[in-house]
Amino acid sequence: MEQTKTGFMNIALAPKAKEGKAEKTAVKKRKKISTGDLIFRICNGLFMLIFVIVTLYPVLNTLAVSLNDGTDALRGGIYLWPRMFTWKNYTTVLQKDNLITGATVTVARTIIGTVLALVTNAILAFIVSRKDFIFSKQLSLFWVITMYVNGGLIPTFLLYKSLGLTNSFAVYVIPGMISAFNMLVIRTYMKGIPDSLEESAQLDGAGYTTIFLKIISPLCKPVYATVALFVAVGQWNSWFDAMLYNRMSGDLTTLQYELMKLLSSVTNQSSSAEAMKNSNGSVTPTSVRAAATIVTMLPIICIYPFLQKYFVTGLTLGGVKE
């Protein structure tokens, strides 16, 4: 591993000498735009515009469907704007029993789960990214394998049950806390941090704990934010564990599980002989699903800018600072 300097580190360490010059020219940098540059910018802007339209469309379409009468939406032809406006889908979703309990549990598991996952994955990544660590390679392999093996539903269930994890909050945050994927993402980032930092700290007598907390972690903010986002979104959206392990514990239900049950109710109702014929302002699985999707997306959209600043900073803020 010592010989395999990554491409990044080669260049990361090389141009230190030029830094002085770079600073001076930085001020004038943006002024001159060549024709080639201009064409590139226009093309790039166009590409981004198309990309935005293509990706925004399904979201706006979902929003439109969620604000449209369910029965009317069955006829299709709703694109960006609701045809028969109603709040009915949202009131149906928000009136769901236990939604508050579910939301509380979901917020709790998102916060606790994200912190736990971030801390443990960071520690693990730190360990395996130490070049001199004696079991570095074996420990990595041990975790990489976990990505591709799966014992199946029933053995996992039995295990959690015997560990006392069923009917408990812990089942949301303890299993799956450390994941090889997140660990590897952090590890890659940590490996990109120049060794010189760690070496000089070690000369000052700093132990591994200090190096981890004081030197490596502050530099890893962008990757920590990325992993936190991944874990948080996973936690926020999960419901299968609530269904499987905490079915009988109503106070441990999650937001998504409640929404899944609501969807299931509506689906069931729309094909049941009990449903009396009625067309005034009724909801359908499609319209409720759309509203539920928007409701679950909103908090993430709101929190996103706070995380985003760490990984979309642009050239001026980013980089390894010493």
Partner 1 sequence: MKKKIVSVLLVATMLSTMVSGCGKTAGSGGTVNAEGIKEFTAFFAVPGSEINDDNEVQKLIAEKTGCKVKETWLTGQTAEEAVGTLIAGGEYPDFIDGGNGSVQLYEAGALVPLDDYIDKYPNIKEFFTEQEWDQLRQSDGHIYWIPQFSNIYGEERACTHNDEAFWIQTRVLEWAGYPEIHTMDQYFDLIEDYYEANPTMEDGTENIPYTILCDDWRYFCLENAPEFLDGYPNDGSVIVDPDTLTVIDYNTTDTAVKYFKKLNEEYKKGIVDPESFTQTYDEYIAKLSTGRVLGMIDQWWDFAYTAEDAIKSAGLDDQGCQYVPLPITIEEGMTNQWHNSGGVLNVSSGLAITTSCQDVEGALQFVNDLLGQEVHDLRFWGVEGTDYLVGDDGMYYRTQEMRDQASDTAYKASHTCSYSYFPQWTGTSRDGKNAMKSDGQETEFYDGLSDSIKKCFDAYGVKTYVEMLGTSPAPGSWYPMYTFSSSMTTSTPGGTAWTLMGEIKHQYLPKVVMADDFDAGWDEYMKAYNECHPEDFISEMQTELERRVAEAAKYE
Partner 2 sequence: MKKKSFTMVDVRHQRVLLIWAAAIVVYGVIFYYLPLAGWLMAFQDFKPVTGIFHSKFIGLDKFIRLFSDATFLRVIRNTLAMGVINLAVTFFMAILFAILLNEVASKGGKKVVQTISYLPHFLSWIIVTGILHDALSGTGIINQVLVNLNVIDQPINFFAHEQYFWPIVAFANVWKETGWNAIIYLAAITAIDPSLYEAASIDGAGRWQKIKNVTLPGIKPTIMILLLMNVGNVLNAGFEIQYLLGNGLVVNVSQTIDIYVLKWGISQGDYALGTAAGIFKSVVSIVLIVVCNHIAKKHGEERLF
In the region spanning residues 144 to 183, those forming contacts with partner 2, defined by CB under 8 A, are 144-152, 154-156, 159, 163, 174-178, 180-181
How many C-beta atoms surround the C-beta of residue 228 within 10 A?
19
In the complex, the smallest distance separating the C-beta of residue 127 from partner 1, rounded to whole angstroms, is 16
How many C-beta atoms surround the C-beta of residue 213 within 10 A?
13
In the complex, the smallest distance separating the C-beta of residue 95 from partner 1, rounded to whole angstroms, is 4
Please state, in angstroms and rounded to a whole number, the distance separating the CA atoms of residues 132 and 129: 9
Q: Does 42 bind partner 2 (CB under 8 A)?
A: no
DSSP string spanning 152-217? -HHHHHHHHHHTT-TTSTHHHHSTTSS-HHHHHHHHHHHHTS-HHHHHHHHHTT--HHHIIIIIIH
In the complex, the smallest distance separating the C-beta of residue 255 from partner 2, rounded to whole angstroms, is 14
Contacts made by residues 13-17, CB under 8 angstroms, sequence distance 24+: 13/194, 13/196
Residues that bind partner 1 (CB under 8 A): 69, 71-72, 74-76, 91-92, 95-98, 108, 112, 115-116, 119, 153-154, 157-158, 161, 164, 166-170, 173-174, 213, 239-240, 243-244, 247-252, 257, 260-262, 264-280, 282-284, 286, 288
Side chain identity at residue 48, one-letter code: M
Binding partner of 56, given partner 1, partner 2, none, CB within 5-8 angstroms per partner class: partner 2
Binding partner of 71, given partner 1, partner 2, none, CB within 5-8 angstroms per partner class: partner 1
Binding partner of 210, given partner 1, partner 2, none, CB within 5-8 angstroms per partner class: none
**Which residue's entry shows tokens 């920590």?**
224
Binding partner of 291, given partner 2, partner 1, none, CB within 5-8 angstroms per partner class: none
Binding partner of 273, given partner 1, partner 2, none, CB within 5-8 angstroms per partner class: partner 1
Task: Select the residue interacting with partner 2 from 137, 161, 214, 247 (CB under 8 A).
Answer: 137
Contacts of 5 (CB under 8 A, 6+ apart): none
Please state, in angstroms and rounded to a whole number, the distance separating the CA atoms of residues 215 and 225: 17
In the complex, the smallest distance separating the C-beta of residue 307 from partner 2, rounded to whole angstroms, is 9
Query: Quick one: which of 86, 89, 60 has its CA closest to 291?
Result: 89
Tell me the three state secondary structure of residue 296: helix
Size of the site for partner 2 (CB under 8 A): 114
Binding partner of 22, given partner 1, partner 2, none, CB within 5-8 angstroms per partner class: partner 2
Nearer to partner 2, 58 or 277 (CB): 58
Within positions 64 to 83, which residues make up the interface with partner 2, using CB under 8 A?
76
